Structure formats: C-alpha cells, structure tokens
Amino acid sequence: MIFQNPQFFLFFIFLAIIIVLRKGFFSKNDSKLLFSDFSNLQDFFGKRGQFKIIFLNSIFFLMISLIIIALARPTKTFSEEKIEVQSIDILLVLDISSSMLAEDFQPNRIEAVKLSAKEFINNRKSDRIGLLVFGKETFIQCPLTIDYIVLNSLLDEITVIDPQFDGTAIGIALATGINRLRTSTSKSKVMILLSDGSNNAGSIDPIAAAKIANENDIKVYTIGAGTNQAVTRIPNRGLIKNEIDEETLKNIAKETGGEYFRATNKNSLNEIYNQIDSLEKTSVEIEYFSSRRELYIFFLIPAFLLLIVFEILNLIYFKRIE
C-alpha cells in the first residue's frame, strides 16, 4: 500500500500537540464550582465519569486519524507481468552411417554425439526441437516438440543405420529437414547438421538444398565430426575411413547464414554445441501491466460512522443525568 498525498500525515503532529495541550494547559485552568451535595454528579466526576470522557475523546481522535489517512489517499497497486516467448524451431540432423562407430570419440562417435546433443537439448527452455537421422535414406526420429524427456528418450534409441541403408545422403537430409521446417511460423528456424563423411548417396545436391533452405529462412549450422585418419575396423563392414567433405559443409553453412564447425573429440563437440546454443538464444518479450485501487473509502466510511457514534453518545448518553 502506498499513499498519494503523504503530506497530510503532518496533521498527526498538530493532533499530538492538541492532545498535549488538552492534558497540560487546559486541564490546569478548568473553572471550579462548589456543590453542597455532589452525589448525583458521581457518575460524571468519579472514575466512571473519567472513563466516559477518555472513551469519548478516543472516539474523536480515532475519527480524526482515519480522516487524515483518507486524505493521504492510500492506494494499492496490482502488477501483472505478461511474458511472450519467441521460440526457435531447431532440427537436429545426425549422420548415422557406419563410420559413426569410429572410436576417435569415446566411446565412439555416435555415442559421443548423442551425449552432446542431450546437453544441448537440456540447455534450451521453450524451443521446439526435432530429430532427423540419415544414411542413404532419411528418417524422422522425433518431430518438433517441447517434450524434451521424450526427445531424449528417442535420442537414446539411435544406432548406426542398417547395412542396406548405409551411406551419406546430405542433400536428401537437408531437403527432408526443409520440408519439416518450411511451414513453421516460428521467428527463427534452425538446422544443426552433423556428418562425418561426404555426400555419396541420393539425387539431391547439398548446395542446391542449401539454397532452398535459405529461401525458406532456414539457417543451417554444420559440424564435421572425426579425425583425419582410419581409426577402427567394424565387423562385416570393413575399415572405417574418415572422408569429411569440409568444403561442402562450409558452403552449406555459408549459403544459409550459419556457421561451420569441426569437432575432433568429445570436448570440442561439446564446445561447438555450446557455441550454437549461445548464438541461437530465445528472445523473450516482457510486458508489465499495473492497476491502482483507491483505498481511502475504507478509512472514510469508518470515520463517518464514528462521527455518528460520537454525536449520539455526546448528545444523548453522556448528557443524561440519572
């Protein structure tokens, strides 16, 4: 509660002065009357009479105090805060070709990528995030959602693609992602494409797909994952060789206004996701609403009622002689 006219509280000083003067100066200069018999005046000049006077004065001063508070205009302010979150639609596009089993990331590339992606997801607050995986073919693992528990659960289920779908079709992955994001009404649409190979499958050129992404206001961040050496042999799949086409990934990012990153271990991969997280922050618009309610009436009405009581007691009860 605040007071719009606090200067009226100065009247309490004058009220205190009046009380002091009444008790000090005027009480000592009261007129004296002589009575031969004052038995009928016992109620007025004895303890009972003193109580009546104190009671009547208390009502008077309480009434004046309430009027002073009402003049000070007490008000209560009610504030409301409306928060509008401009969410970002983010699609994680992960390469799950057999080369993602390489062990230059611990325990291997695909598991390290899943852990880093989880950390990225958990750092977001209100964005819709989807998950797309690709090899020679592309699969929607999870549509855009704000249910991060379900998203992380589906992320856990990712494994390298079956041998019949093995390959790296970056162009098709981009086209599928564009198809998912192009109808979004979000203020910002982002793809984070991670691959450890080069486009060796599919009929769609990655750069052509990037141009379409740009036309649909979709920004693509690309990550090249892995070291420049053969690191392990996978049973029934032979020796895994690293063939990251960095030039293509850089051009995809440049074409769409994104950035290209190179991750050679788990730590650098975490740092890359953190960088992207800081680059794509959700914007929050906050509007404040305030309303004010006048409270003087809650003091003025009791003061008016006390005035009525004061007059009734003063004119009828305290003037009566038994």
pLDDT for 106: 86
pTM: 0.64
Question: Does 25 have pLDDT greater than 60?
Answer: no
Give the pLDDT of residue 233. 65
* Percent of the chain's residues with pLDDT above 90: 42
Binning pLDDT at 50, 70 and 90, where does residue 320 land?
A: very low
Please, are residues 245 and 198 in contact by the beta-carbon 8 Å criterion?
yes
Tens digit of each residue's pLDDT (9 = 90 or more) over 212-252: 999 999 999 999 998 876 555 666 666 666 678 899 999 99
What distance in Å separates the CA atoms of residue 186 and residue 85, rounded to the nearest whole number? 11
pLDDT of residue 118: 96
Between 306 and 117, the higher pLDDT residue: 117
User: For a pLDDT cut of 70, what percent of the chain falls above it?
Assistant: 79
In order of start, what are the domains of the chain with their CATH numbers? 2-23+40-78+293-317 (no CATH), 88-281 (3.40.50.410)
Which pairs count as long-range contacts for 183-186, CB under 8 Å and 24+ apart, including other chains?
A: 184/89, 184/144, 186/86, 186/87, 186/88, 186/89, 186/128
User: For residue range 268-297, what is the model confidence (pLDDT) as tens digits?
Assistant: 999 999 999 988 876 656 566 667 788 888
| Beta-sheet pairing, 2-3 with 74-86 | antiparallel
Could you tell me if 140 and 175 are in contact, meaning their C-beta atoms sit under 8 angstroms apart? no
Supply 174's token pair. 């981009």
pLDDT at 322: 43
Best-predicted range by mean pLDDT (20-24, 65-69, 188-192, 233-237):
188-192
- Average pLDDT taken over every residue of the chain: 83
Question: What's the confidence (pLDDT) of residue 116?
Answer: 95
pLDDT value for 244 = 86
Those residues whose C-beta lies under 8 Å from the C-beta of residue 113, and which sit 6 or more positions away, are 94, 100, 105, 194, 225, 269
- Helix H or strand E encompassing 14: helix 11-21
Per-residue confidence (pLDDT) for residue 224, from 0 to 100: 94
Tokens of 21: 């003067």
**Statement: residue 30 has pLDDT above 60:** no
Q: Looking at the DSSP assignment, which residues form a beta bridge with residue 86?
A: 283
Single-letter residue type at 196: D
Amino acid identity of 99? S
The predicted-structure confidence for 124-146, as pLDDT tens digits, reads as follows 988 999 999 999 999 999 999 99
Q: How far is CA 78 from CA 286, 292, 294, in A?
A: 16, 6, 11
